[in-house]
Structure 1
Amino acid sequence: MKICLYGAGSDNIKYKYIKESYRLGEKIAKRGHSLVFGGGSTGVMGAVSKGVLDNNGKVLGIAPVWMEEFEGICRDCDEFIYTESMDERKSLFLEHSDAFIIAPGGIGTLDEFFEVIVLKKLNQHNKKIVIFNMFNFYDPMLEMIDFMIDEGVIRAKRDKNTFKIANSIDKVFELLEK
């Protein structure tokens, strides 16, 4: 399975996220899957890709040509696709992936996550989406989604069922592989 990872590229992220992200990358490779990601060499992205590469897994990086101005680019990818825009990048993530893992990240990660769930809701794909809620990182966002359901702006069954939530690496793969 080609798994697209959305996650932080920040090099300021707490070490616990880096350590757990590396373990996620190890598991991706050891289970015979490949990684599709934003091509960053730092943060969650860099840790997951390093975990995959250190365990002989395959990695595809996708990033705009100008991204190096903002974060380091992973030079060890098996393949790297440079794009002109973030929109093109997100389209290629969808095209080259079979499933999505949403790991801790910032505004860019949220943008990618919400776009992929909206596209699923609108029947533009039927790929699995798993929020990896390590260390309860996404609890505030999930509470906001529940609040939005209570307020009637999100349809509980239709919209919330577009993604699953996992609090452990084992649960991530249980949800992806079943």
Structure 2
Amino acid sequence: MNICLYGSGSTKIDNIFTDEAYKLGCEMAKKGHTLIFGGGDTGMMGACAHGVQDNGGKSIGIAPEWINDFEPLCEKCSEFIYVNSMDERKRKFVEHSDAFIISPGGIGTLDEFFEIITLKKLKQANQPIIVFNIDNFYDKMLEMIDEMAQKGFLYKQEEIFKIANTIDEIFEYLEVRM
């Protein structure tokens, strides 16, 4: 299975997050899954990619070359797909991925998350989407989404994405979907 990870590339992230991302990458490799990601070598993306690579797994980075001006790109990817824009990057994520994991991140991660759940709601994508809620990172956002659903502004999240607090929960859900 090709699993796309959305997550921060920041170097300022607490180890509680990057340690879990590394462990996630280790498990992905051990289970024979391929990591699809934004190609960053730092933060959540880099930690997950290093976990995959350290365990003999495969990773495919997707990014415009100019992103290297903002964060270093992972040089040890099994494959790297260069694109011209962030929109093209997101399209390639959808084309190459069988599932999505949204790990802690910033504005870019939220942009990717809201785009993929919108595409799923509009039946333009059907892949499983899992919010990896490490250390309750996404609790406030999930509360807001719940309130939006309660007030009739959108479908309940359970119909569009799942929430996982542990790596085991991620793979339990994905294995049912395989």
TM-score of the alignment, normalized to the shorter chain, above 0.5: yes
Q: Determine the structure 2 residue equivalent to 1:52.
A: 52
SS in 1 for 2:39: coil
State percent identity of aligned pairs. Answer: 60
Deviations 1:105-154 (CA, angstroms, capped at 9, x unpaired): 01000000110010011111211001111111110100010111122211
Which of 166, 172, 175 in structure 2 is aligned with 1:174? 172
Once the two structures are superposed, what CA deviation does each residue of 1:38-95 show, in whole Å capped at 9, x if it has no partner?
A: 0000000000000000000000000011101110100000100111100000000000
- What's the TM-score, normalizing by structure 2? 0.97
Q: SS at the partner of 2:154?
A: coil
State the partner residue of 1:105: 105
**Counterparts in 2 of 1:16-31, with a 5 A limit?**
16-31=16-31
Equivalents in 2 of 1:100, 1:170: separation in Å? Answer: 15
Q: Residue type matched to 1:58 in 2? A: K
Between Structure 1 and Structure 2, how many residues are aligned?
A: 176
Gap regions ≥5 residues in structure 1: none
Alignment of 1:87-102 (within 5 A): 87-102=87-102
The letter of the residue matching 1:173 is F
Q: Paired residue for 1:164? A: 162
- Which letter does structure 2 place at the counterpart of 1:32? G
CA distance in 2, matches of 1:76, 1:110: 26
- Distance in 2 (CA, whole Å) between partners of 1:101 and 1:121 is 17
* Secondary structure in structure 1 of the residue aligned to 2:63: strand
Deviation at 1:160, TM superposition (A): 4.1
Tell me the equivalent position of 1:138: 138
Q: Gapped runs of 5+ residues in structure 2?
A: none
Q: Give the aligned residue type for 1:76.
A: K
- After superposition, the CA RMSD in angstroms is 0.8
Matched residue type, 2:166:
S
Partner of 1:82: 82
Partner AA of 2:130 in structure 1: V
The residue matched to 1:82 in structure 2 has which SS?
strand
TM-score (norm 1): 0.97
